[in-house]
């Protein structure tokens, strides 16, 4: 990735996570005027011809679609946000590890559940961050859509430790865990929740609006780094 022609700077990771969640550029090619009209109605724009077929494109905001479906059609079984696009791998620093999020609203009890599938899991460094990050996503989307955050289910495959993490991991597993902290979003929501107001809420929230209550921790572990994924 350091030598990739797609890399735009020192801090650029390419088209991962946020890019594919919020601004996924999709392309379709169609043969007939009827098909072209159908995709035009769905927000696609004509960009040219390829082998006599019309090519059309559209930017897809998966987060917006998730929010809109939770609010307008909570019994839907397709409330999914994912980041696995093989055609973009060359434009990413690394193919996504936390690949897919699925949301399950329980309208009767006003609770929103979420499942995340993770294909590769660095147990010592990555997984704790993935757990917290996913819990934060669930908490934010629940609050924005008027639900209470429910259960986060974490599906993990290829869970691993690197050799240079063994000593730190041994220390970690012999420690007595502290009671779990709580998370609270202090920013008030719009009482009349709509897809637009929920998106505005998420886009204007800041770290100062996120409160972590009763977070206690042990001393830092010996410094370790992630090895190159193979």
Using CA atoms, how far apart are residues 210 and 194, in angstroms rounded to an integer? 22
Phi first, then psi: what are they for 109, rounded to 5°? -100, 5
Catalytic residue among 56, 71, 81, 97: 97
Count other Cβ atoms within 10 Å, centred on residue 230.
Answer: 3
All residues at 6 or more sequence positions from 32 whose CB lies less than 8 Å from its CB, including other chains:
none
Angle at CA of residue 109, ends 105 and 111, nearest 5°: 40
Strands 121-122 and 159-160: parallel
Strands, DSSP E only, in 69-200?
80-82, 98-106, 111-118, 121-122, 148-156, 159-160, 182-185
Is 121 tagged catalytic?
Answer: no
Query: Is the distance from CB of 53 to CB of 30 less than 8 angstroms?
Result: yes
- The set of catalytic residues is 97
């Amino acid at each position: 990735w350091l030598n990739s022609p797609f890399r735009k700077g020192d801090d650029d990771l390419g088209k991962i996570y946020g890019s594919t969640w919020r601004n996924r550029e999709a392309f379709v090619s169609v043969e007939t005027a009827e098909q072209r009209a159908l995709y035009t109605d769905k927000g696609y724009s004509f960009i040219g011809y390829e082998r006599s077929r019309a090519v059309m494109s559209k930017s897809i905001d998966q987060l917006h679609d998730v929010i809109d479906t939770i609010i307008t059609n909570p019994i839907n079984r397709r409330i999914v946000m994912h980041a696995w696009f093989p055609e973009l791998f060359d434009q990413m620093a690394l193919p996504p590890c936390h690949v897919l999020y699925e949301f399950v609203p329980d309208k009767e009890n006003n609770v929103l559940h979420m499942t995340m599938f993770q294909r590769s899991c660095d147990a010592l460094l990555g997984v704790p961050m993935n757990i917290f990050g996913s819990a934060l996503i669930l908490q934010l989307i629940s609050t924005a859509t008027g639900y209470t955050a429910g259960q986060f289910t974490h599906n993990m495959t290829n869970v691993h430790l690197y050799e240079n993490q063994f000593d730190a991991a041994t220390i970690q597993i012999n420690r007595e865990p502290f009671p779990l902290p709580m998370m609270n979003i202090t920013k008030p929501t719009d009482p009349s929740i709509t897809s637009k107001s929920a998106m505005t809420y998420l886009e204007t929230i800041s770290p100062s609006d996120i409160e972590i209550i009763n977070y206690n921790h042990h001393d830092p572990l010996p410094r370790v780094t992630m090895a190159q994924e193979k």
